[in-house]
Structure 1
């Protein structure tokens, strides 16, 4: 099929776990003629849940992409995971789409995941659509649900269609007004959404007030509707039953007729090296700019790098560059992903989603381009949750160290919320994820895909160190070995910075007492000391180092001398600047049956947690919001399961770092045996 950028629609299906996104994905593919029969999540026969862990657990872990050609409209749909444990892939999809379709379970209403996705999509400037699924569930009051959605997300949430005939079909209430529904007149709903749409644009509003609705053309209505979506003035609500098919064609109609194309949506947040926002041109004749938002290590075709084209046209056999790398690669194979299958294509135009195979140098969030005029362009990074759960691991069988390293490298390529760290001082490899379930899935994949089994144990908590005051430090490094010696002398000052500020290195040397070529060596020594810490062996952060004086020797001064002098002058200053240990504090949200509230709040209080508030939800569920030290939550999954009979669930997000209590700092310091003089 031939299509242009104006006819492309990119939509991510997102929402809370269990709302039926994957079944809706299947129903849309069937309605669009991509597949003949709808697969079953329970039987593991869907297009998107192809991984062994997905089939075993009957829920999505990775995002899956498929396209539907409908007339001259090309619709790319991305099915995403609902569990917060796998948010990395869900949020990654937001870098490739104009619209996020947030799916809601009609029986459960607004859930924790619904709120998070709506917030993240709004922050990214994406159009939002609410799809109410499972409308045929017995006893559901859809009118109440609409009111709840409006209370939760604002009066800009309005139905764009309505269910009729006991939810066996769905009627359009934007372009058409005939018929009645089970809970509201279609005419009233039509008038509400029409009033909301026309007021966004003075010209449309004027034509409407002068001559009524009949004066507005379908194109004027579309343009105003699209502007409302772009500016957050409208969040359409539509209704569907993915199980019976009611409303599925109508959802495709909305995708086709009302959602923004790549040229209509808010400009993507591309920035140059100076962090200034710059525009990309969705023109097929421009230089190529594409962003890699997903990496798949496919057992059959090798590494697949999935990208969104923002400008220019990528053709098979063309030459592309990765970021600012001066070495080009050849696009040997260009694919369109359609669920389980990969279809080879000749080109990808602006707005397209496609993939290249077997280019090892490509990484997540890489920018692909065909001209070095674009090698400084970067898409503004998504804000991923910080992976706070950790496991230290080593291969179960000797001789598999290299195999383990390769497996971990492949897995971290695929998931931006799965990290690997190697602590040199402990010779310890640590993996971090968003939850214990997240890590469990990744280790299962490592065994199934790469044949690597591991032994795990709890890692050290990710403490940090900083300083509470300012101080000066000095060190003279002098070494004579018979030939040319080593000499370097450094005077520096350390000052604390606010939490999260990181590290600053300032050259305040005057009069050439330290030649400029030795300043990088001093900074290198400082950074070495920052990695190993000064109080309890944890990395230092949130401080400024100012080098203001020193001496050098025209013969004996070398880089290695100033590395050592910088490192020891820094440690001298740190030890005078009231060093403190910081611990990670996390935002905790615990969803529990209301009957367990006393046990759970008491348990959190015993973990040095601060209860920030509670929120009652439907069905007797209560959400407790708290902040707690991560170190206190090591065994929390097991404890919560025991307290709630397996009905409690929770999520963590890094909030900030704050000083540990003095007894904890003494304990950490005593346990650390520094070896600062081994150099």
Structure 2
């Protein structure tokens, strides 16, 4: 397929806007399917996996292909659930165009706004598809105003629904000025489009103003592409996936207006911090990117690859990233839902799937020349995890299996994070919320036959002291034969937060032999790890050993380890020991109308509101600090307050003394 006949588009948008249904209609119209699948029946091409069928909305990002008027349209269906946003974001490097699907009967949520903003960040050409026409004229007019308010006044209709809502009339290619439309006016919409497009081409603007003649679609093609690349125009298409109204015009728009691979903005590649330009040509070095990984029970690891430059053939020798060892491409496939077709070649501008290549991971760069060893894609800004669970296999001995399965699950979803906390010996899975982790855990059980029990991760408290103290301890053990003897005198003093541990040896006169001082420090370090009052490590403390006694026969290392440990614990008990709790810095993006409720909830749970900033007319950025102990279920609380429209990120800020009630509880649970 020639490059100029390929179009790569991601269908994105919040849940329930009809992305999957619309793709199903496009496939059927292009005769890529014999029957029209239904989401509620679980027989659509893109929602073929068990979880998508169960929940009746997309869980995975799924590519399909179809042919229309000698063009090949590669369309990726993406999840719209807010907690699965990362799975949608990961496909952006594979496309030139992001098509935001909107349902006029739904409010435009933060999910759609985040997807729109991410497409801008990734320099994608954008379009908006309004799916469903059986609404009132006032409702559609309000929607266009809302789109203009949220996304900019460069979002312009390229077609309009007729007054009966049963068809769509073209406003660009061959505008029919005599058709009565439900909203606006065809002639006015056409002139607005032309005026917007020619603003990027001064010569064409002068020609248009001087001659006053109608410009042809051919004359407008190049400036239209430039306007798309720069975000100077975002065409709005009306369509009904249910009735089929506007489907042919949408296919024509995708084929003739939206950019071909060498017309869109180039991929955001870098080498050692500098931009790298690739040419979407087959005669260049091969450069390709892995935009998705899935693990198939029968085919093993599958890597979904977009070819930016050059070509991939069966038998190609390719390098992965900076690796000096090439791998040989075995089989290439084109996937159509659950069906696969083996192909022999994927050219620049196209995509393919590679099977059974264990070296490949999400975001890998594939190349056939060492000139591209350090080339990488600009880091994608995935949403930060908001919810975590501690996992433990139910079956004893499945610890290694848990680790292996989690690695596979995380390889398929770049917005999941797996941690092992050595201090608490906990395996933690982190994601966007309860549903996100529920989907991951269900797959662990159904696909990998691994059952786990879940719990909230432990809060990592510390202990410290508030004042100096002094103590001594004599360890003496005599039970026949060689005994044990060691005596240690020491002082403790608090240090500034973050200082850690400082050990000072001020023993003089050989009261403790120099060779045995490390044993004293060893005993103190053991006590530091075990804690004095709550079982949590002690930090920000200075220990000075200044005196002691030893016996020429019975003083051994073990005696001074024990004496050092006991003396230290005694001193800590006298030094005003306290529990330190972790405080996190929070950044919340929330609808402005919920700022008061969110602030009140945080303040009522020991949070501190530090400031607010208006993001746009509808959203506010809120800065806050909170004890992490109060945020164990915060993803659920925020979703409840904002109707699922709020999001947050957090990072460790510092540790500070826990209030008496928290300290008493922590100590009681030790």
TM range (shorter): 0.7 to 0.9
Q: Are the counterparts in 2 of residues 267 and 279 from structure 1 also a CA contact under 8 Å?
A: yes
Instruction: Tell me the equivalent position of 1:83.
Output: 81
Gaps of 5+ in 2: 464-494, 506-514, 516-527, 529-534, 541-578
CA distance in 2, matches of 1:323, 1:539: 41
Q: Are the counterparts in 2 of residues 106 and 140 from structure 1 also a CA contact under 8 Å?
A: no
Instruction: Tell me the equivalent position of 1:198.
Output: 198
Deviation of 1:116 after TM superposition, in Å, equals: 1.0
Q: Provide the alpha-carbon RMSD of the alignment.
A: 3.7
CA distance in 1, matches of 2:140, 2:656: 51
Q: Sort the Cα spacing of 1:286 and 1:200 in 2 relative to 1 into closer, same or farther, 3 A.
A: same
Q: Are the counterparts in 2 of residues 283 and 312 from structure 1 also a CA contact under 8 Å?
A: yes
Equivalent residue in structure 1 for 2:126, among 125, 128, 152: 128
Deviation of 1:615 after TM superposition, in Å, equals: 11
Instruction: Tell me the equivalent position of 1:649.
Output: 644
CA distance in 2, matches of 1:26, 1:539: 60
Q: Are the counterparts in 1 of residues 10 and 98 from structure 2 also a CA contact under 8 Å?
A: yes
- Secondary structure in structure 1 of the residue aligned to 2:447: helix
Deviation of 1:601 after TM superposition, in Å, equals: 5.5
Q: Are the counterparts in 2 of residues 464 and 583 from structure 1 also a CA contact under 8 Å?
A: no
Alignment deviations for residues 441-474 of structure 1 (CA, whole Å, 9 cap, x no partner):
1111100000000011111358999987899989
Q: Are the counterparts in 2 of residues 616 and 623 from structure 1 also a CA contact under 8 Å?
A: yes
Deviation of 1:280 after TM superposition, in Å, equals: 1.0
Whether 2:251 is the aligned partner of 1:256: answer no
Q: Are the counterparts in 2 of residues 585 and 658 from structure 1 also a CA contact under 8 Å?
A: yes
- Secondary structure in structure 2 of the residue aligned to 1:183: coil
CA distance in 1, matches of 2:461, 2:159: 52
Instruction: Tell me the equivalent position of 1:418.
Output: 416
TM-score if structure 1 supplies the norm length?
0.76
CA distance in 1, matches of 2:504, 2:209: 79
CA distance in 2, matches of 1:600, 1:159: 37
Q: Sort the Cα spacing of 1:614 and 1:365 in 2 relative to 1 into closer, same or farther, 3 A.
A: closer
Equivalent residue in structure 1 for 2:432, among 434, 438, 442: 434
Instruction: Tell me the equivalent position of 2:466.
Output: none
Q: How does 1:261-660 map to 2 (within 5 A)?
A: 261-272=260-271, 274-461=272-459, 583-588=583-588, 602-607=600-605, 608=607, 610=609, 612=612, 627=624, 629=626, 630-636=628-634, 648-660=643-655
Q: How many residue pairs get matched?
A: 570
Instruction: Tell me the equivalent position of 2:51.
Output: 53
CA distance in 2, matches of 1:169, 1:426: 63
- Secondary structure in structure 2 of the residue aligned to 1:223: helix
Q: Sort the Cα spacing of 1:379 and 1:395 in 2 relative to 1 into closer, same or farther, 3 A.
A: same
Deviation of 1:295 after TM superposition, in Å, equals: 0.2
Q: Sort the Cα spacing of 1:666 and 1:330 in 2 relative to 1 into closer, same or farther, 3 A.
A: farther
Q: Are the counterparts in 2 of residues 462 and 583 from structure 1 also a CA contact under 8 Å?
A: no
Instruction: Tell me the equivalent position of 2:209.
Output: 209
Q: Are the counterparts in 2 of residues 318 and 331 from structure 1 also a CA contact under 8 Å?
A: yes
Equivalent residue in structure 1 for 2:35, among 22, 34, 37: 37
Q: Sort the Cα spacing of 1:400 and 1:70 in 2 relative to 1 into closer, same or farther, 3 A.
A: same
Q: Are the counterparts in 1 of residues 67 and 73 from structure 2 also a CA contact under 8 Å?
A: yes
Bigger CA drift: 416-425 or 97-106? 416-425
Q: Sort the Cα spacing of 1:650 and 1:398 in 2 relative to 1 into closer, same or farther, 3 A.
A: farther
Deviation of 1:63 after TM superposition, in Å, equals: 0.6
Instruction: Tell me the equivalent position of 2:71.
Output: 73
Deviation of 1:240 after TM superposition, in Å, equals: 1.0
Deviation of 1:35 after TM superposition, in Å, equals: 1.2
- Secondary structure in structure 1 of the residue aligned to 2:53: helix
Deviation of 1:614 after TM superposition, in Å, equals: 9.5
CA distance in 2, matches of 1:70, 1:606: 58
CA distance in 2, matches of 1:74, 1:270: 25
Q: Are the counterparts in 1 of residues 37 and 45 from structure 2 also a CA contact under 8 Å?
A: yes
Bigger CA drift: 342-351 or 461-470? 461-470
Q: Sort the Cα spacing of 1:450 and 1:469 in 2 relative to 1 into closer, same or farther, 3 A.
A: closer
Deviation of 1:85 after TM superposition, in Å, equals: 0.7
Equivalent residue in structure 2 for 1:12, among 6, 10, 13: 10
Deviation of 1:617 after TM superposition, in Å, equals: 11
Equivalent residue in structure 1 for 2:158, among 157, 160, 169: 160
Gaps of 5+ in 1: 477-485, 487-528, 530-534, 541-578, 673-679
Whether 2:179 is the aligned partner of 1:184: answer no
- Secondary structure in structure 2 of the residue aligned to 1:233: coil
Alignment deviations for residues 519-541 of structure 1 (CA, whole Å, 9 cap, x no partner):
xxxxxxxxxx9xxxxx976999x
Q: Are the counterparts in 2 of residues 95 and 382 from structure 1 also a CA contact under 8 Å?
A: no
Q: Are the counterparts in 1 of residues 101 and 131 from structure 2 also a CA contact under 8 Å?
A: yes
Instruction: Tell me the equivalent position of 1:571.
Output: none
Bigger CA drift: 29-38 or 350-359? 29-38
Q: Sort the Cα spacing of 1:668 and 1:353 in 2 relative to 1 into closer, same or farther, 3 A.
A: farther
Alignment deviations for residues 176-197 of structure 1 (CA, whole Å, 9 cap, x no partner):
2212312222001000011000
Instruction: Tell me the equivalent position of 1:521.
Output: none
CA distance in 2, matches of 1:159, 1:364: 36
Deviation of 1:154 after TM superposition, in Å, equals: 1.6
Deviation of 1:640 after TM superposition, in Å, equals: 6.7
Q: Sort the Cα spacing of 1:247 and 1:475 in 2 relative to 1 into closer, same or farther, 3 A.
A: farther
Equivalent residue in structure 1 for 2:170, among 152, 155, 172: 172
Instruction: Tell me the equivalent position of 2:218.
Output: 219
CA distance in 1, matches of 2:646, 2:151: 22
CA distance in 1, matches of 2:136, 2:36: 23
Larger radius of gyration: 2
Q: Are the counterparts in 1 of residues 445 and 451 from structure 2 also a CA contact under 8 Å?
A: yes
Deviation of 1:211 after TM superposition, in Å, equals: 2.1
Q: Are the counterparts in 1 of residues 62 and 78 from structure 2 also a CA contact under 8 Å?
A: yes
Deviation of 1:628 after TM superposition, in Å, equals: 5.6
- Secondary structure in structure 1 of the residue aligned to 2:39: coil
CA distance in 1, matches of 2:167, 2:537: 64
CA distance in 2, matches of 1:331, 1:249: 38
Q: Are the counterparts in 2 of residues 463 and 583 from structure 1 also a CA contact under 8 Å?
A: no
Q: Sort the Cα spacing of 1:181 and 1:335 in 2 relative to 1 into closer, same or farther, 3 A.
A: same
Q: Are the counterparts in 1 of residues 424 and 458 from structure 2 also a CA contact under 8 Å?
A: no
Deviation of 1:599 after TM superposition, in Å, equals: 6.8
Deviation of 1:119 after TM superposition, in Å, equals: 1.0
CA distance in 2, matches of 1:471, 1:634: 27
CA distance in 2, matches of 1:10, 1:254: 13
